[in-house]
Structure 1
Amino acid sequence: MKSLYLAGAASLALLLAACGGENSGNEEGAAANERAANGENGGAESGHADEGVVTLDADQIAAAGVQIGRPIIGGAGTIELPAIIEGDPQRTQVVSAAIGGRVVALTRNLGQSVVSGQTIAVIESPEVAQIKGEVEAARARLQLANSNLAREERLFAQRVSPEQDLIAARTAATEARIALKQAQSMVSAAGGGGGGLNRLGIAAPISGQIIARPVTLGQTVAADAELYRIANLSQVSIALNLKAEDAGRVRPGSTVLVTAAGRQATARVTFVSPALDPQTRLVPAIATLDNRGGEWRVGEPVMAAVQLTGSGGSNAIRVPRTAVQSLEGKPVVFVRTPTGFKATQVQLGDASGDTVIVQSGLTGNEQIATTGSFTLKAEIGKGEASHED
């Protein structure tokens, strides 16, 4: 009986000891949880040290549509905009006749080459016959005046004719020469020469290619009507329209990278308008492009990347505008970390089209979120809201 009592007492002691241990462990766990809630994590940093950090793996980054790139070093940036290939205004000329009439010959078709001075059209008109007749009459009068002058010079040398007759003959010859030049200039002003008495040959004023021929053979045209349009396409123009804030950073001589399907070339800015276009409120600009190979066609749409000038120098750090977000009113860029991204505060400089200069905060060697940075900012907002709860 006594042995049964002793065994029961021992069992009770063991049970009480076990209960006491569990209570002690619970108390220690509760204390640890309280310390963690108060930020006392055994000397570790508090939860606020992770502000601005977004934890994402590679798959999550791809799923969020975040693209990663590096800042651009050097230059002041470029702007990309659509543009149109145009003929160089200094190398394009309209061919017309100053006299109306019937078109009896067109010697060149679209796309064919012409040489300056080559006859490319013939106009038939009674008015042509009149001005050509004046040329012939003036030429005949000049021949007669020169003959009289030679005779008077001979008679004066023989002391047969007085000096005043010689002077009169010289004056008449000079006037006849002037009249012939005037008659010939009328033919030239009409567009050219050649052909029959009532026909006027129209000569090409420049060498180049026929890019327009709005008339047809046998058509009656009015004075100054366009017969041909000739362009020297060894050099073409790029018509640009710039925003006012960008136009101030484009100068004559700035480079323009011109891109089309399967082709790329470099042009130079030759003109930036000092005034805005009243309709578009944009600034017209022109760049010239070498086209001796005939790769570019007038009217062709292209993309033009215009180099901007400005502050920053050759070592300037630039990032896309889409990479910059604002946290607590301060600009930040999301820099790639081994576990995701960290919002890094930056100081911004001048904007350069689709990029902006970073004056401080980046070294240029980082990997940054170039697009999708707004998604990262939203993740930080979610984390802060969860922390407040």
Structure 2
Amino acid sequence: MNRNTFIYAVLPLSLALAACGNSQDGASKEEKAAGEAAHADEGKITLSQEQIASAGIQIGRPTMGGSGTLELPATIEGDPQGTQVVSAAIGGRVVALPYNLGQSVGRGQTLAVIESREAAMLKGEVEASRARLALANSNLVREQRLFAQRVSPEQDLIAARTAATEARIAYNQAQGQVSAAGVGGGGLNRLGITAPISGQVIARSVVLGQTVDANAELYRVADLSSVSLALNLQPADAGRVRAGNTVTVTAPGRTATATVTFVSPALDAQTRLVPVIASLDNRAGQWRVGEPVTASVQLSGEGEDGVVRVPSTAVQTVEGKSVVFVRTKAGFQVVPVTLGDNVGDSGAGGSVIVRSGLTGTEQIATSNSFTLKAELGKGEAAHED
């Protein structure tokens, strides 16, 4: 083989190898670009607004301030300052009960009329003392005139003035006894029992015609425009609850906000818990005394004014790290976070403190975030394939 023949034989092989090399380089660049694109899409979930709504994913913002909330059962109670027992000041027979359960009454309105001999004696004493007072005043006027005419001595005038004063005291005392027992009930032997406050009749303990003893309970009247929320805290939690803290009250179909008014300085002797009372506006009449509700109590924390809190349902674990899903224009972005203390029941309404990863201004998935975690897993599996 001469030299020219060898060159012509080797040249096609070299060109073929060069072409193969260029093809491999192009393929590696494409794979590299695809890998970089996959890395750029890592942690991103593309979902439309319709898909988000269909999955039941709720969007909310983290809560700023405080050190969390504590969820526990509570009971609606009547405001102790707004509940009054109406009792019979004298014994006798009940002859009138004009108000029934649930009816509204005004202060001073007659709730019951009691007929008794004691009522007749009280009213009789008022009439007798009134007559004695009229006679004493008449004698005093006469003695004043006689003394001015120098007919009667000063001693008689002083005696008449003293008698008139004593008669006035006796009359006022008799009136006071009647007022303490009730008001006029339409007859000499009847007394009316009046409402001490304006409110609603929440209990009626007697029936018409019943004979009652003195101090027997007749009615209970409550001003239910404001009710109390009674709950009990563990001593460790009570140290983070102060007067003025807010309480979110929830019941089926209803939600309201109450304000803590009292945190007991002593533990209950039997439960060894700390009683707490919150005031709840009830002018709409949607809360009933004795009703069990759920209370989410805001906890106070020293130096925690800027803390970020998210619902426990917003946090998922991906590759051993805690993450939340932040809303983007295209869907969601996985954001790793560093967690603090859990507050409350993580299964229902609890929250968790986020030490880092969020600023508090983001929109995040607050519920059903596990569906986003599952969607993220599908995307990673597709990248591996």
Q: 2:65 — aligned with what?
A: 75
2:323 to 324, 330, 335: 335
Q: 2:298 — aligned with what?
A: 307
Calculate the aligned-residue CA RMSD, in Å. 3.6
Between the aligned partners of 1:237 and 1:369, the Cα distance in structure 2 is 31
Paired letter, 1:271: F
Between the aligned partners of 1:178 and 1:202, the Cα distance in structure 2 is 25
Between the aligned partners of 1:154 and 1:197, the Cα distance in structure 2 is 37
Paired letter, 1:89: P
What CA deviation, in whole Å up to 9, does each residue of 1:179-222 have, x standing for no partner?
Answer: 11111111122233333121111111111111111100111111
Q: 1:200 — aligned with what?
A: 191
Q: 1:108 — aligned with what?
A: 99
2:265 to 268, 271, 274: 274
Q: Does 1:217 align with 2:205?
A: no
Q: Does 1:230 align with 2:193?
A: no
1:260 and 1:320, CA in 2 relative to 1: closer, same or farther beyond 3 A?
A: closer
Q: 2:30 — aligned with what?
A: none
Q: 2:250 — aligned with what?
A: 259
1:322 and 1:278, CA in 2 relative to 1: closer, same or farther beyond 3 A?
A: farther
Q: Does 1:175 align with 2:163?
A: no
Paired residue total: 304
Paired letter, 1:94: V
What CA deviation, in whole Å up to 9, does each residue of 1:43-85 have, x standing for no partner?
Answer: xxxxxxxxxxxx9x9xxxxxxxxx9999944122111222222
2:146 to 133, 152, 155: 155
Q: Report the alpha carbon displacement of residue 360 of structure 1 after superposing the two structures with TM.
A: 5.4
Q: Report the alpha carbon displacement of residue 345 of structure 1 after superposing the two structures with TM.
A: 6.4
What CA deviation, in whole Å up to 9, does each residue of 1:211-254 have, x standing for no partner?
Answer: 11110011111111111111111111111222212212222221
1:172 and 1:350, CA in 2 relative to 1: closer, same or farther beyond 3 A?
A: farther
Q: 1:9 — aligned with what?
A: none
1:336 and 1:157, CA in 2 relative to 1: closer, same or farther beyond 3 A?
A: closer
Give the TM-score normalised by the residue count of structure 2.
0.68
Paired letter, 1:269: V
Between the aligned partners of 2:208 and 2:270, the Cα distance in structure 1 is 40
Give the TM-score normalised by the residue count of structure 1.
0.68
Q: 2:239 — aligned with what?
A: 248
Contact between 1:323 and 1:333, CA under 8 Å: does it hold in 2? no
Paired letter, 1:219: Q
Q: Report the alpha carbon displacement of residue 148 of structure 1 after superposing the two structures with TM.
A: 0.8
5 Å matches for 1:349-388? 354-359=350-355
1:342 and 1:86, CA in 2 relative to 1: closer, same or farther beyond 3 A?
A: closer
Q: 1:286 — aligned with what?
A: 277
5 Å matches for 1:111-150? 111-150=102-141
1:289 and 1:351, CA in 2 relative to 1: closer, same or farther beyond 3 A?
A: closer
Gaps of 5+ in 2: 1-42, 46-56, 326-333, 374-385
Q: Does 1:184 align with 2:184?
A: no
Q: Report the alpha carbon displacement of residue 142 of structure 1 after superposing the two structures with TM.
A: 0.7
